[in-house]
Amino acid sequence: MDIVVVGGGPGGIQFTKTVKSHNPDINITVIRPEPFSVIYCALPYVIEDLVDKIKVRKSDGLITDTGAKLVKDEAVGVDFDNNVVQTKKSGNFRFDKLIIATGASPVIPPIKGSNLKNILTVKTESDLEQILEYVNLGAEKAVVVGAGNIGIEMSVALKHKGIETHLIEMQDRVVPNMLSKDMSKLPEEELLQEGIHLKLNTAVTEFSGEDRVTEVKLSNGEKITLGEKDIVIMCVGVKANIELFKESPLNIDRDGIVVNEYMETNVDNVYAVGDCASYISYIDKKPLGGKLATNAVPMARICAYRILGRNYKYQGFINGAITKCINWRMGGTGFNEEMAKSRGFDIVTAKGETTTRFPMIPGATKVIVKLIAEKETLKILGAEVVAGESVPQFIDVISYAIQKQSTAYDLFQFSYCAQPFQTFFPASNAIVQAAEKLLNT
Ligand SMILES: Cc1cc2nc3c(=O)[nH]c(=O)nc-3n(C[C@H](O)[C@H](O)[C@H](O)COP(=O)(O)OP(=O)(O)OC[C@H]3O[C@@H](n4cnc5c(N)ncnc54)[C@H](O)[C@@H]3O)c2cc1C
C-alpha cells in the first residue's frame, strides 16, 4: 500500500510513526515544504533567550527513522480521480490512501494596513527568524494583537527582552477562550505589574504607514507610534490550510476539512487529521474548533489505526490547554463559563481555592479551580484554573472526568494524593472543594 501524507507537523509525524511501527511494509511518503519543522509552542522561549533556536528544530529522523520517505516540497494539487499528489519541484506521487495534515496558519484580519511589512505572525521557523531579526536590530516597541495563549507568551517574551510591549485584546479579559472574567484578573494584574501595556475591550482599527507600520490606531481613540525597528505581532487565531482543496470534492466548513470519527473525509481513501480538519466537541457533539497539538496527535493515531484495520473512534475535542504569564499559569478544559452558556447549557459554577504546596512550605502559591457543570445533572462541562504552579495536574484530571461523563458528585469523591512540597494539605483538594460546593448549589 502507498500512503502519501501532506504535512509534516505533529499530525503527519504521529500518523507515520504509528503506521510504520505496526506495519513497516506500508510505503509512506511525507511531503512537507519547510527545511526544518519546529516546535511552535517553544518559539516564545527562543525570543526570550531561554532556549537556543536550533533546539526547537525537530529532527527529520522523526519521519525518516520510521522508514518513511520525506520529500521537502509543497503539494500544489491533488488529482482525486487518479489518486495523485502534484508537487512544486519533485513531481507526482501516486497514493492508495491520502492523509491531509496541512495544519493551520495564523490569521491576519482585514484591518486597514495589515499588509505592511513589520506585521508578523508566530508559527514557522521563518516567522521566528523575522521576529528575532527585529529584536536583535534593537526593536524598542512591540504591539501584540490578541491576548490568547500565544499573545500572552509573546508579550512576556518581548517585555523580558526590554521591549516596550502593548498587548491589545478586543474582549474584556485575557485568554478569553480559557478563562472567564473573575478568573482572568490575576494574570491581568501580573501583566500590568510587569509593565506590559494591556488594553482590554480594545480593537486595532488601522495600521498606518508607507511600507511599514508607523502608527497603530485603537478603537478607544489611542494611537501607538512605532519607530523604524518596531514590530506588530498578530496573535488572533489560526485558520485551516485548505486552499489547495478549495475546488476539490472535499467537504470543507469554517474549521477545515470535515471528518468523521475515523478521520475519514467524504472522499474514499482520503483522510484529514490535525489543525486542517473540522470535527466536533466531545461534550455536545456539535462542531468545535480544536486546533491544538494535543488534538492533532490523537486524531492522527486514530487515523493510523483505522488504516491498520482497527476501528477506534475519535470521540471529539475536549480542548484541555494551558499557558503561562510570568508567575501565574492558566489552564482550561471543556467549556469555560461563557462558552457553556453560548452553547445553550444552563449551568452552575463553583470555585475551590487552596495553595499549591502546604502553605508553610517555601514556594507555596495560590491555586483556584472553577468547575462548570450542567445545572440539572451536575455533569461536569469544563474547568478554568489559575495557579502559581502545577496547572496540568488539575486540567488533566478534569479532562478525564469530562471524558468519563463525570458529575460533581464523582469529583466530590475523587481520590487524591497529598505531600507537603507538591500539594495542599490532605484536608482539601481544590477540585473536590469546588465539586462539594456544586453539590450544595
Ligand atoms: C506559537 C504556537 C504555540 C502553540 N502552543 C501549543 C501548546 O502549547 N499546546 C498545544 O497543544 N498546541 C499548541 N499550538 C498548536 C499546535 O502547534 C498545532 O495544533 C499543531 O501543530 C497542529 O499540528 P498539525 O500537524 O495538524 O499541523 P502543523 O503543525 O501546522 O503542520 C502542518 C504541516 O503541513 C505543511 N503543509 C501545509 N500545506 C502544505 C502543502 N501544500 N504541501 C505540503 N505540506 C504542507 C506545513 O508546512 C506543516 O509542515 C501552538 C501553535 C503555535 C503556532
DSSP codes of every residue in 23-39? -TTSEEEEE---SS-B-
Q: What SS3 class is residue 263?
A: coil
pLDDT band at 58 (very low <50, low <70, confident <90, very high): very high
From the CA of 7, give the closest atom in ligand 1: 34
99-115 mean pLDDT: 96
pLDDT band at 261 (very low <50, low <70, confident <90, very high): very high
The upper half-sphere exposure of residue 356, i.e. CA atoms within 13 Å in the direction of its Cβ, equals 19
CB count within 10 Å of CB 322 equals 18
pLDDT band at 201 (very low <50, low <70, confident <90, very high): very high
Say if residue 178's pLDDT is above 90. Answer: yes
- Average pLDDT of the chain, as a whole number: 97
Tell me the pLDDT tens digit for each residue of 210-259.
Answer: 999 999 999 999 999 999 999 999 999 999 999 999 999 999 999 999 99
Going from the Cα of 103 to the center of ligand 1, the distance in angstroms, rounded, reads 5
pLDDT of residue 76: 97
From the CA of 273, give the closest atom in ligand 1: 26
Q: What SS3 class is residue 408?
A: helix
Going from the Cα of 224 to the center of ligand 1, the distance in angstroms, rounded, reads 31
Task: Write the burial class of residue 38 (CB in 10 Å: 0-12 exposed, 13-18 middle, 19+ buried).
Answer: buried
> Residue 23: CB within 6 Å of ligand 1?
no
From the CA of 123, give the closest atom in ligand 1: 53
Tell me the pLDDT tens digit for each residue of 346-358.
Answer: 999 999 999 999 9
pLDDT band at 108 (very low <50, low <70, confident <90, very high): very high
> Residue 292: which of 329, 319, 272 has the closest Cα?
319
> Residue 343: which of 332, 356, 334 has the closest Cα?
334
pLDDT band at 59 (very low <50, low <70, confident <90, very high): very high
Tell me the pLDDT tens digit for each residue of 122-176.
Answer: 999 999 999 999 999 999 999 999 999 999 999 999 999 999 999 999 999 999 9
Enumerate the β-bridge partners of residue 144: 167, 233
Place of cell 516597541: 141
187-208 mean pLDDT: 98
pLDDT band at 390 (very low <50, low <70, confident <90, very high): confident
> Residue 324: CB within 6 Å of ligand 1?
no
Report the helix count and the strand count for the chain, using DSSP H and E.
11, 27
